[in-house]
Structure 1
Amino acid sequence: MPVEVLDNLLHIKEGDYLDCTFGGGGHSKSILENIGVSGSLKAIDKDPKVLKFADQILDSRFEFKNISFSDLENSFPCESFDGILMDLGISSIQLDDQSRGFSFKSDSILDMRMDQTQGLAAFEWLNKADEKEIADTFYYLGEERKSRALAKQIIEKRKKGKITSTSDLINLRFPYSRSKKHPATNIFRAVRMFINNEIEELISALKSSLSLLKKGGRLVVISFHSIEDRIVKNFLRGTLENVTLESYLEPEGKLIKPSEEEVYNNPRARSAILRVGKKI
């Protein structure tokens, strides 16, 4: 939804903007093409592998920082931005990199870390976590109804050898489903979200947006599944983690979904939901 992003984010031509999910730089390049000469764009991404793409943008209005959502508030002054963009989930670059283990379309090492220099890899966690922790992760982060049965299979599989690759998850015995999506989709998402603390990071970023936005500034968030979208929707209604916020962003318009044409050209966009909030 590149057009919808720009229409809702860039409400001031000469404004100051923040791209929280740089990835391959697609959004950042579009923003730079559409802001004025005195405008500015800061971009962040926790994945150090995207530095090579940031270095290719030779524009004095642009600055990149290799930081996480949870570092935002300590990295920029209050009321720095007229607009903040968060395109959640994983980038196509990460999905297509077989060394990362994000995709079930190829057999590769089960890493799944956004930043491969920090924290446990997915295979390390799956080999040490107990059955209940795995089942709860599948259920709460993957919304997988057969979470306990699948967790039990992983424990049994570990008795025969360590979990190391994406095929170890793909080859679990999944219940029959009429859904068109791959049966491993839910548990892949759950493990990725757990390994990268994605819910905690999202909550931190949303809180930071309250102080980082200028008055009248816009927050534009693209989410790809119900857990993320529910958090964003409630945040724009004035609650976060079931707590009423003293200050909040006002929802702008209705949620936006990709057109049929966009889904046809980019199937990965089919579940995208865009929401906009304004600082009052």
Structure 2
Amino acid sequence: MNVASPARPLEVDPLSLPTALGSWVARVVGGLRRHAVEGAGESPTSFYHEPVLMEEVLAGLVPAEEKTFLDGTLGGGGHSERLLQAGACVVGMDRDRDALAYAGRRLAPFGDRFRAEHGNFCEMRSVVPPRSLDGVLLDLGVSSWQIDQAERGFSFQKDGPLDMRMNQSAGETAADWVNQRSAEELAEVFFRYGEEKASRRIAAAIVAAREEKEFTTTLQLAGCVEKAMGGRGRKHPATRVFQALRMAVNSELDSVTAGLEAAQDVLKPGGILAVITFHSLEDRLVKTFLKERSTAFLDRPEWPEPRPNPALAWDLVSRKAIASTDGELARNPRARSAKLRLAKRR
């Protein structure tokens, strides 16, 4: 089947280069030609914003013909489109059926080289065989488009139902959480997932307010948090609370841990894992997972000598996370907190 003007495969092999990635990524990314991207039907920017760290992801995954990748967070299909343009095959997963529908239309010109699957990326073992993939990409968090849609309930700036589910056909909503959990449980969620120092004060205010009227909308909750915090500062006082609720509703950190384990099983030896994070909780989790499984020997004071690490499964492509360039930040402010970590399956 003919595919509309696929780009030339990227002829970059980062794994043949030293572990210290900073210098060679700068050279590789600087030499990559940016492609004009057109979606099927709607303009990508009208539905999903520009994917972050695009060139760095491509430099790490090195897409080409005969390679197969899993995009575990398909979203609007921006990353997948560039992989497909380079001649690769892609399996795209997403919990959001709206995202799957849009990406399916956008990527239809690539025919059977693209396949969409509805589900959480932590379930990737159910859609691809063991040790079958050349790369796995996970772009964690919520998309700008989801936040912008008031009816999805992710935004504290737009009034909508207090939902926050990535998969709107399953699970508890954010309204269920704030109306049914105890003050202690809410405070723990706000502190653990939002790193909110005033978690107990906010939780107490929510419990008191729901005795008068249950929470049903985003602005209702945002107003309660703002009142509990005594007004607005430079950052909206509900920012951390909404982040924490979203992560709890969607079991995001549990999904990340399970997804990393699954990626370890489905990647071929030499396959690449690329993970983009947007806040410190996710990044610490990914960093710790990879560090614990890329250390060849373990040492303890009570041991006479170091011992081989039985969990050894990865080689770090970069010991430090890759951040966005100044140029990308100027084009795409959403990229300011994005970090990319790359690892190679042993």
Match of 1:133 in 2: 185
User: SS in structure 2 opposite 1:102?
Assistant: coil
- Residue 189 of structure 1 aligns to which amino acid in structure 2? Q
State the shift of 1:54 in Å. 2.9
Cα distance in structure 2, aligned partners of 1:177 and 1:233: 36
Q: Are 1:261 and 2:324 an aligned pair?
A: no
Deviations 1:83-114 (A, max 9, x none): 11000001122111110011122111110000
Q: Point out where structure 1 has 5 or more consecutive residues left out of the alignment.
A: none
Residue in 2 aligned with 1:222? 276
Task: Tell me the TM-score normalised to structure 1 length.
Answer: 0.92
Alignment partner of 1:182 out of 236, 259, 265: 236
Q: Residues 103 and 203 of structure 1: is their aligned pair in 2 closer, same or farther, counting only changes over 3 Å?
A: same
Q: In the alignment, is the contact (CA less than 8 A) between 1:80 and 1:214 conserved in 2? A: yes
Alignment-derived partner of residue 252 in structure 1: 317
Equivalence for 1:65: 117
* CA spacing shift, 1:105–1:178, aligned 2, 3 Å: closer
Q: Distance in 1 between matches of 2:208 and 2:232?
A: 27
- Cα distance, 1:55–1:114 mapped onto 2, change above 3 Å: same
Residue pair 1:101, 1:111 contacting (<8 A) in 2 also: yes
Query: Which residue of structure 1 aligns with residue 45 of structure 2?
Result: none
CA contact (8 A) 1:238 1:249 kept: no
1:214 and 1:49 map into 2 onto residues whose CA distance is: 31
Q: 1:258 to 1:179 in 2, by over 3 A?
A: farther
Q: Which residue of structure 1 lines up, in the alignment, with residue 151 of structure 2? A: 99
- Compared CA separation, residues 194 and 13, structure 1 to 2 (3 A): same
CA contact (8 A) 2:73 2:121 kept: no
- Give the direction of change, closer, same or farther, for the CA distance of 1:106–1:203 in structure 2 (3 Å limit): same
Number of residue pairs the alignment of both structures matches: 274
Q: CA deviation at 1:11?
A: 5.6
Stretches of structure 2 that go unaligned for 5 or more consecutive residues are 1-52, 295-308
2:273 is matched by which residue type in structure 1? Answer: L
Pairwise CA distance, 1:237:
0.5
Matching residue within 274, 279, 285 for 1:231: 285
**1:151 and 2:216 correspond:** no
| Deviation larger for 223-232 or 170-179 | 170-179
Higher CA-based Rg? 2
The Cα RMSD (Å) is 2.0
Cα distance between partner residues in 1 of 2:230 and 2:79: 38
1:179–1:205: structure 2 CA closer, same or farther, 3 Å change rule? farther
Match of 2:217 in 1: 165
1:207 aligns with 2:261: yes
The change in CA–CA distance for 1:245 and 1:106 in structure 2 (over 3 A counts) is: farther
2: distance between equivalents of 1:234 and 1:221? 13
